Structure 1
């Protein structure tokens, strides 16, 4: 009951007064139904029905057209409706109400947008604290994340490495010059370095949470598709030797969604460096998947520190100046090369031979600085968990 009171407190009394015509009439009607429920004029079952109608309808609208064009107001409606849906589920005392509520909350986090005091991340924390994790971890044996012994591999034009470089050294020799660098001995103190190699721990902290999983060879391949899955199901299905396909939790702001895992990492001091008067906050993304996941050759617009926590990755890199030889795609994937750098078709892409290839083997506890617009291809040689920090 205490958790319900805490969750209900997140729905501000004056939220209706903050609505605009862009939010539509359905959310107003739902808020009125919620007020009637609090006065005892309608049942929790009635509220559950109405909230599901609004979330389902808004879900349909969110999936029309391009995601970048979805109005913020529509996403705010989805967030508010999701919170009321959760309250109704818990008040209706349905079977598996906690599990269903967490699923609804995660969808609200992924698709919704903050509005007033509505904080679905806080709701998820409250719900997770009351859920049993025994069913999520029982199938996973300790040390299921195994690292292949290949620490010595012949590399082409290997990226320089430096142990705990000073901020000044890093800024002068790499940040301002847009020069890659492997940094060692910088994240050994992260709790994640000891905890994340055990999949039982990941399941205990996040097994019930719903996240977007990329399935297929990679995001530029015709086989690529996305699916919303619970992390426990993702691990069970894809972290096994005979998995039929490759699944990847890639470029996802997992730590905003699940703050319990964010406590296991610390933002590197290098992220404070900037060429701007007012540097932006770093975007923190998770990259979690089995051996064999691939990010095709591409570049990102921001400075990037790729921190390897579990497993080893091989990175193939090319400077921005080689862009004419890398055959960028057209349209939305213009930051991605057409060339398969692991097996290039030189008949189709003859100029590719002129590009200056550089390589890096990124082991657990190491970070790779990838400058803006520096091309990079990434392959996981083991089951892997990485964290990237992107900043201007």
Structure 2
């Protein structure tokens, strides 16, 4: 019952304090169902029928899931993402009632992760807070089950040779420029640059070594989206939801370099239009040989290298016509060309496009201006962090 008490403590003490407010886009019947689930929870805390409660939560999850997967993701109304999060919250809470076995804890954490991945923040990020409680109760996070064999393609253990960067094509490096110099020399004219020394203060480089054992301990039971395949334009490329433990066991085999824990938002992001809440932070962890095809993003990007090295090639927006973007709406921001092995018959103008390149080393940060085309190939197992800002 200790788990149940901790879970209940995260929620409002009374039904009237539990918010269920949605816009007109949400069907009234859905709101009624949510209110029924809320009432059942607060009226039955002592004699809680978790199976009935969970079934009702699944109805909310299944219905809102259809809304999330109708049309393109950018057209999904945030209100339906919030409904999905509430469904996940109720299901996770119901799963924690009664005798809380390890399997039930893992299921509740996975449900919360799905809400974080597909839903929207609710009740002061209650799903993240619930995960923090449940993680403390998980014992000896498991690995891949025997019935699920590891991936037959083992990543190469040897380090991929460092590409030779021609001096005339090299991206310039600057050490700790002032805010004004960065704005005038690089941000406003949209000039790529590698910034040295600006993340040396990160705890990631000073305090906490991140071994594979540490990664398992802090995140092994968490469910994350994993890209399977060397590049997302390949026919065999796919995405799958796995726990961090499963990802490590199936796809990261052999000795893993130490990773580091803590990061900080680069000060230069303050030159943007939004505040910290508008900065998108993504962590990229994967084996050598992984490729991000030549593509462009709609925001400014600081790509910080923490562990391992990456070869990166940049093309300005002026070269777009020579890069042969896909014609489909889904991949219009991605080139059809295999950058390091181009088909010059099918894409003859590609060789005319001028570019810059670099090998990004640990501790370095690459500034990629908005809509600059960039191609990335990991030279070894690596850990990177990107900051997208306006």
Structure 1 residue runs of 5 or longer lacking an equivalent are: 138-143, 242-260
> Which residue of structure 2 lines up, in the alignment, with residue 302 of structure 1?
299
SS at match of 1:332: coil
Shift of 1:145: 12
Indicate conservation of the 8 Å contact 2:174/2:194, yes or no.
Answer: yes
Indicate conservation of the 8 Å contact 1:313/1:380, yes or no.
Answer: yes
Does 2:128 match 1:121?
yes
What is the root-mean-square deviation in Å for CA atoms of aligned residues? 3.0
Pick the aligned partner of 2:117 from 100, 106, 110: 110
Using the size of structure 2 for normalisation, the TM-score is 0.84
1:268/1:16 CA distance change after superposition, 3 Å: closer
Does 2:172 match 1:160?
yes
Q: How many residue pairs align between the two structures?
A: 367
1:336/1:273 CA distance change after superposition, 3 Å: same
Shift of 1:80: 0.9
Using the size of structure 1 for normalisation, the TM-score is 0.84
> Which residue of structure 2 lines up, in the alignment, with residue 59 of structure 1?
65
> Which residue of structure 2 lines up, in the alignment, with residue 31 of structure 1?
35
1:1-392 equivalence runs, <5 A:
1=2, 2-9=5-12, 13-15=16-18, 18-19=21-22, 22-40=26-44, 43-95=49-101, 96-117=103-124, 119-133=126-140, 135=142, 148=159, 153-155=164-166, 157-193=169-205, 195=208, 197-240=210-253, 264-274=262-272, 276=273, 281-330=278-327, 331-392=329-390
**Aligned counterparts of 1:314 and 1:118: Cα–Cα separation in 2:** 37
Shift of 1:20: 5.0
Shift of 1:17: 5.6
1:119/1:312 CA distance change after superposition, 3 Å: same
**Aligned counterparts of 2:276 and 2:60: Cα–Cα separation in 1:** 39
Shift of 1:55: 1.9
**Aligned counterparts of 1:210 and 1:309: Cα–Cα separation in 2:** 22
1:233/1:339 CA distance change after superposition, 3 Å: same
**Aligned counterparts of 1:240 and 1:214: Cα–Cα separation in 2:** 16
**Aligned counterparts of 2:21 and 2:127: Cα–Cα separation in 1:** 18
1:383/1:262 CA distance change after superposition, 3 Å: closer
